[in-house]
Amino acid sequence: MNRERSFKIAIYCFLFIIILNFILPRMMRGNPIAYLTGMDEASLSVAQYEYYEKALHLDKNIFIQFLYYLKSLVDGTLGYSFKKQSYVAPLVLSRLRVTLLLVLPSAILAAILGLVLGLRGAYNKNKYLERTLTPIMVVLNAIPLFLLSLLLIMTLSFSYKLFPYSGLGTGFLDRVYHLVLPVLAITLALLPSRYLLVRNMGCERAKSKSVLYASQRGLRATTIRYSYILPEIISAYITNVGLSIGSGIAGSVIVEKIFSINGMGSLLNEAIFTLDYPLLQGILFITTLAMLIAVGLTNIFSFLIDPRERRRNA
């Protein structure tokens, strides 16, 4: 996908989520108060009902409501969770750090591993490695993430007692030690699609005449991989990696549940359990925002490393 285009689409996507978040509680059957507070409508007293109606500006018309909603996004509160008695933004942001601790290392690790292995798969003088790698990735892709995490726990923590299987630990080293398994699980979940993407893009480039000429000149396979194929695919690949933050966060929701880690994912699980709609929507908003930022950053990054762009601006 084209770089500028992907950022534009990411912005539209962000707007789409903002509008969806506004419309959802108001278009559902029943009173929007039930969805905006997460309280049971029948259990509210008249005074409470009027209080909520005023607090949520539901007595105003829909455009004014939308403006109030936009204001809540801009001033950084993201609405109020009546179940948790707190604004949504601080709740989510306090947990976001832990989730990013899981997602960023795994996204980066999966991106690097996918690139190295994918290039090996795309151009190789002996085909044995490629013949074993691709089926492994296909099998890996068929394993659901929760099964992957459970398998890792079963082998590496219960049978061999190598790694802890819950919590985050205290202190830097202990934390890293606790993060190994969850990060590994998300990495393995993201890896197959990265690998196959690089492999497919690389295979196409490997058919080009420049690569044929280079191999006829007797250049080493590593040189061909990293100086001939890599520069052509890296820009598209980096854009794609930025997009994977969204699925990384989704993976983190599952992994945090299994490894009992107190991140945004377990906050989401709590919110599902208590039907805390404002909190759920806040998490969706933050996830999309994180994706938008990731796409933006990767765009800048791939702009910086693209020699064509540098020459055009010089």
For other proteins, the closer of residues 211 and 295 by Cβ is: 295
Contact set with other proteins (CB under 8 A): 9-10, 12-13, 16-17, 20, 24-25, 28, 35, 134, 138-139, 141-147, 150-151, 154, 158, 189-190, 192-193, 196-197, 199-200, 203, 243-244, 246-247, 249-251, 253-254, 257, 268-269, 271-273, 275, 277, 280-281, 283-284, 287-288, 291
Instruction: Tell me the torsion sign for CA atoms 53, 66, 19, 245.
Output: negative
Q: Residues 4-7: contacts with CB within 8 Å, 24+ apart?
A: 4/299, 6/239, 6/242, 6/243, 6/295, 6/299, 7/295, 7/296, 7/299
Q: How far is the CB of 232 from other proteins (least distance, A)?
A: 17
Distance (Å, whole) CA 159 – CA 153: 9
CB of 34 to other proteins, least distance (A): 11
Q: To the nearest whole angstrom, how small is the minimum distance from the Cβ of residue 59 to other proteins?
A: 23
Beta carbon nearer to other proteins, 77 or 134: 134
Complex with other proteins: residue 70 or 151, whichever CB lies closer: 151
**Closer Cβ to other proteins, 63 or 273, answer by number:** 273
Which residue's CB is nearer to other proteins, number 52 or number 277? 277
Q: How far is the CB of 74 from other proteins (least distance, A)?
A: 21
Q: How far is the CB of 233 from other proteins (least distance, A)?
A: 13
* CB nearer other proteins, residue 215 or residue 274: 274
Q: Which is nearer to other proteins, 83 or 309 (CB)?
A: 83
CB of 131 to other proteins, least distance (A): 10
Q: Which is nearer to other proteins, 64 or 139 (CB)?
A: 139
Amino acid letter, residue 43? S
d(CA 44, CA 34): 10
d(CA 246, CA 198): 19
The full length of the chain comes to 314
* Nearest distance from C-beta of residue 89 to other proteins, angstroms: 17
Give the nearest distance from C-beta 141 to other proteins in angstroms: 6
Q: Let me know if 126 is exposed, middle or buried by CB neighbors in 10 A (0-12, 13-18, 19+).
A: exposed
